[in-house]
Chains A and B, each alone.
Chain A
Amino acid sequence: MAYDYEKYIRPGKLPHIWCPGCGHGIVMKGLIRAMGTLNLKKEETALVSGIGCASRLPGYIDCCTLHTAHGRAVPFATGIKMARPEMNVILVGGDGDGTAIGGNHFIHACRRNIDMTYIIMNNYIYGMTGGQFSPCTPTGDKASTTPYGNPDPGFDLAKLAIGAGATFVARGTAFHANQIDKLIVEAIQHKGFSVVEILDDCPTTYGRRNKYKSVIEMMNRLKEIAVPVKAAEKMTAEQLKGKVLTGVLYKEEIKPEYTAEYAKVIERAKAAK
Chain B
Amino acid sequence: MSKKVAFIQGNEAGAYGALYAGCTFFGGYPITPSTEVAEVMSVELPKIGGKFIQMEDEIGAMAAVLGASLAGAKALTATSGPGLSLKQELIGYGCIAEIPCVIFNVMRGGPSTGMPTGPSQSDVMCAKWGTHGDHPAICLVPASVQETFEEVIRAFNLSEKYRTPVMIMPDEIIAHMRERVVFPEPGEIEVVPRKSPTVPAEQYKPYDISFGDVPPLASFGSGYKFHVTGLNKMQDGFPTTKADIVQAEEERQVRKVNANVDDIVTFEEYLLDDAEVAVVAYGSTSRSARYAVNIAREQGIKAGMFRIKTFWPFPDKQIKALAGKVKGIVIPEMNLGMCSLELERCAQGQVPVLGIFRVDGEPINPDQILEKIKEVK
Chain A residues in the interface with B (C-beta under 8 A): 10, 13, 42-44, 46, 48, 58-59, 62-69, 72, 74-80, 82-84, 86-87, 104-105, 108, 262, 265-266, 268-270, 272-273
A104–B59 Cα distance when bound, in Å, is 10
Any A CB within 8 A of the CB of B230: yes
A78-B55, A79-B71, A270-B46 known; A72 and B63 CB under 8 Å? yes
A64-B221, A75-B64, A84-B72 known; A59 and B238 CB under 8 Å? yes
* 21 pairs, A vs B, C-beta closer than 8 Å: A10-B227, A59-B229, A63-B225, A64-B224, A67-B228, A67-B231, A69-B93, A69-B230, A78-B53, A78-B63, A78-B64, A79-B65, A79-B68, A80-B221, A83-B24, A83-B68, A84-B220, A87-B221, A105-B63, A265-B46, A269-B47
In the complex, residue of chain B having the shortest beta-carbon distance to the beta carbon of A108: B56
Does B60 lie within 8 Å of A75, measured CB to CB?
A: yes
Does B220 lie within 8 Å of A46, measured CB to CB?
A: yes
A84–B68 Cα distance when bound, in Å, is 8
B contact face: mostly helix, strand, loop, or mixed: mixed
In the complex, residue of chain A having the shortest beta-carbon distance to the beta carbon of B238: A59
Any A CB within 8 A of the CB of B201: yes
Does B57 lie within 8 Å of A66, measured CB to CB?
A: no
Any A CB within 8 A of the CB of B239: yes
A58–B231 Cα distance when bound, in Å, is 14
Does B56 lie within 8 Å of A104, measured CB to CB?
A: yes
Chain B residues in the interface with A (C-beta under 8 A): 24-25, 27, 43, 46-47, 49, 51, 53, 55-57, 59-73, 75, 89-90, 93, 201, 220-231, 238-239
A46-B220, A84-B221 known; A67 and B227 CB under 8 Å? yes
**Pairs of residues from A and B, 10 with the lowest C-beta to C-beta distance, nearest first:** A79-B67, A75-B63, A269-B46, A79-B64, A83-B71, A79-B68, A75-B60, A76-B67, A108-B56, A67-B229
In the complex, residue of chain A having the shortest beta-carbon distance to the beta carbon of B24: A83
Which residues of A are found within 8 Å of B238, using beta-carbon distances?
13, 59
Which residues of B are found within 8 Å of A82, using beta-carbon distances?
25, 51, 53, 64, 68
Which residues of B are found within 8 Å of A77, using beta-carbon distances?
67
In the complex, residue of chain B having the shortest beta-carbon distance to the beta carbon of A84: B221
A250–B90 Cα distance when bound, in Å, is 34
**Min CB gap B89→A, angstroms:** 6
Residue among B57, B65, B201, B225 with most chain A CB within 10 A? B225
Does A76 lie within 8 Å of B63, measured CB to CB?
A: yes
**Min CB gap A64→B, angstroms:** 4
**Min CB gap B255→A, angstroms:** 24
User: Other CB < 8 Å A-B pairs besides A78-B63, A78-B67, 7 of them?
Assistant: A59-B229, A79-B65, A80-B221, A87-B221, A104-B60, A265-B46, A270-B47
A42–B49 Cα distance when bound, in Å, is 26
A75-B59, A78-B53, A79-B71 known; A69 and B90 CB under 8 Å? yes
A43–B219 Cα distance when bound, in Å, is 10
In the complex, residue of chain A having the shortest beta-carbon distance to the beta carbon of B44: A269
A79–B55 Cα distance when bound, in Å, is 10
Which residues of B are found within 8 Å of A86, using beta-carbon distances?
221
Does A75 lie within 8 Å of B67, measured CB to CB?
A: yes
Residue among A10, A62, A66, A262 with most chain B CB within 10 A? A66
A66-B70, A69-B89 known; A79 and B63 CB under 8 Å? yes
Does A80 lie within 8 Å of B70, measured CB to CB?
A: yes
Contact for B46 among A44, A48, A80, A266, CB less than 8 A = A266
In the complex, residue of chain A having the shortest beta-carbon distance to the beta carbon of B51: A82
Residue among B47, B67, B68, B75 with most chain A CB within 10 A? B67
A86–B223 Cα distance when bound, in Å, is 13
Which residues of B are found within 8 Å of A108, using beta-carbon distances?
55-56, 60
Contact for A68 among B63, B65, B71, CB less than 8 A = B63
Does B225 lie within 8 Å of A76, measured CB to CB?
A: no
Does A83 lie within 8 Å of B67, measured CB to CB?
A: yes
Does A87 lie within 8 Å of B71, measured CB to CB?
A: yes
A172–B231 Cα distance when bound, in Å, is 31
A65–B228 Cα distance when bound, in Å, is 6
Which residues of B are found within 8 Å of A66, using beta-carbon distances?
67, 70, 220, 227-229
Does A58 lie within 8 Å of B227, measured CB to CB?
A: yes
Contact for A80 among B49, B56, B68, CB less than 8 A = B68
A10–B237 Cα distance when bound, in Å, is 13
A79–B219 Cα distance when bound, in Å, is 13
Which residues of B are found within 8 Å of A48, using beta-carbon distances?
67
Does A64 lie within 8 Å of B225, measured CB to CB?
A: yes
Which residues of B are found within 8 Å of A68, using beta-carbon distances?
63, 66, 93, 230
A69-B89, A75-B60, A80-B70 known; A46 and B47 CB under 8 Å? no
Which residues of A are found within 8 Å of B64, using beta-carbon distances?
75-76, 78-79, 82
**Min CB gap A191→B, angstroms:** 18
A59–B66 Cα distance when bound, in Å, is 19
**Min CB gap A91→B, angstroms:** 11
Which residues of A are found within 8 Å of B72, using beta-carbon distances?
83-84
